[in-house]
Structure 1
Amino acid sequence: MRYMCLLLLSVALFSCKTNNEKGSDKVITKNYSVTSFTAIDVNAPIDVNIKIANVAAPSVTIKGEEGVVKQITCVVNNGVLEISKERIISFNMDKDLVADITMPSITALTIKGVADTKISGKITGASFALNVKGAGDVEIDDLATGNFQSAVSGAGDVLVKSGSVDSADIKVAGAGDVDAYGLQVKKMNASISGTGDMDITVSETLNASINGAGSIHYKGNPSVTSDINGIGSIKKAN
């Protein structure tokens, strides 16, 4: 019995060690050879800088501690760049882990976990879909598409600095916030389930609903249809 207990303890200690990767002090920048993609899916504890530019082909680099960078994979599947960990591990990092991506256009972005993302340049096209799951923050410089869809679940925050779209569908589930005063929207569906906040600018029609204690503040003079279940509020901003 004693031998069995010692064996189990050894296995447990080994498991803990292998599931807590410590990067070396050496910082490297790794370049990834990838095929063309228009969407990005991030499932790793990494900050992401996306630059929309007039380039012939996309480029992807990751900078961080060598031992940590080696545990990150970047592959393209069906037009989606997937950034993920090789296995279920927790990183013990002294230096930031950062991905720099340059691409001609983007149609969708999914963030899972605690990744913070900044998109510079103008996003154009028929539509752009943003999905934030967890505590990641997303900052968008300029959005100019026909349609914008955003779903935030957890405690993530979304900031859209400027732009204009014909229609938007923005959903918040949890404690996340959406600051989109700088985005001019003609027609919008806005919903909050939880304690999140949403700041928006709408010119024509706004369908707004709240389930919980969240709040929606809007600028503009749209016709408003509202539905509140709880102590939340839908108010015109000053």
Structure 2
Amino acid sequence: MRIINLVFLVVISITLGSCKKDVGDCFKSTGKITSEWREAGKIKNIILHNNINLTLVPSDSTGIEISAGKNLLSKITSELKGDTLELSNTNSCNWVRDFSKEINAKVYVNNFCRLDYRSTGDVNCNDTIYSDSLIVNVYEGSGSINILSVTPLLKSAIHYGTADIKISGYTHLSQVYSAGWGLIDNRNMISTFVYVKSLSTNDIYVNATETLSASIIGIGNIYYKGNPINISVDNQGSGKLLKIED
């Protein structure tokens, strides 16, 4: 029995020692909401993780403003590799804290081109994003993405997760893909050419003026605005291609 107790104590000691850093985070309060400015070079791409809300701010200069509890700021990382910024909340035990005290990141961008979303936060912009192209990928997560964009090429895709995508503005070519559970609502993204593929249980909304090509493999419907001259549909699922009446 003594040996068993000794082994138990050793295991507990090792566990607590290895988790000391994480345990410290668990007993750390959020602290007063504080803003911190971080210098950054050129930012064209963003990878968003965890429970961080992101606001894109079109600007001639670039930089990052993080607003969060003072005690959490040091572990909200903003790592820039080349022109790709990766935002993460590396604090432990976030579930024990006050969810009303959000983590917000304002990122000042010029010619922003790509968002890879792996988050539960929301993404917005405070003005129109002008860029050579715009790619929005949802790989996991459950927040909402709402962007106003003017770009020659738009790609919006939900690969996995329940996050929603809503993009408005103007583009020449729009490519849309969904295999997740979230809604893609691009009905206010006026596009000359639209190519859309749905493997989703949710619906997709698009807007085409000249050409609309749709592939439906899932049960979700594809709704479209506009009066495209050329319409083609490959329907292998139970979803339908439906026009939104004005």
- TM-score, scaled relative to structure 2: 0.86
Matched, 1:70 2:71: no
Which residue matches 2:199? 193
CA offsets 1:177-234 (integer angstroms, 9 cap, x no match): 1111111011111111121211111011111112221111001122222122332121
- Matches of 1:30 and 1:72, distance apart in 2: 11
CA drift of 1:82 comes to 1.4
Which residue matches 1:136? 143
CA offsets 1:24-49 (integer angstroms, 9 cap, x no match): 32222111121122221112311111
- Matches of 2:156 and 2:14, distance apart in 1: 43
Q: 2:236 aligns with which of 215, 223, 229?
A: 229
Contact (CA 8 Å) 1:174, 1:194: kept in 2 or not? yes
- Matches of 1:121 and 1:114, distance apart in 2: 22
- Matches of 2:74 and 2:83, distance apart in 1: 23
1:53-202 map, 5 Å: 53=59, 55=60, 57-86=61-90, 89-91=92-94, 92-94=96-98, 95-133=101-139, 134-140=141-147, 142-152=148-158, 153-160=160-167, 162-202=168-208
- Matches of 1:66 and 1:27, distance apart in 2: 6
Contact (CA 8 Å) 1:178, 1:198: kept in 2 or not? yes
CA offsets 1:63-122 (integer angstroms, 9 cap, x no match): 1112222211112111111112347x3413321111112223311111112121102222
In structure 2, the CA distance between the partners of 1:18 and 1:215, relative to structure 1 (3 Å rule), is farther
- Matches of 2:27 and 2:136, distance apart in 1: 30
Matched, 1:214 2:217: no
| Counterpart code for 2:189 | L
CA drift of 1:3 comes to 2.2
- TM-score, scaled relative to structure 1: 0.89
In structure 2, the CA distance between the partners of 1:8 and 1:233, relative to structure 1 (3 Å rule), is farther
Which residue matches 2:5? 2
CA drift of 1:60 comes to 0.7
5+ residue gaps, structure 1: none
5+ residue gaps, structure 2: none
- Matches of 2:114 and 2:146, distance apart in 1: 14
- Matches of 1:78 and 1:159, distance apart in 2: 28
| Counterpart code for 1:99 | A
CA drift of 1:11 comes to 4.8
Contact (CA 8 Å) 1:24, 1:65: kept in 2 or not? yes
- Matches of 1:122 and 1:229, distance apart in 2: 37
Which residue matches 1:37? 43
In structure 2, the CA distance between the partners of 1:23 and 1:172, relative to structure 1 (3 Å rule), is farther
Report the aligned-residue RMSD: 2.1
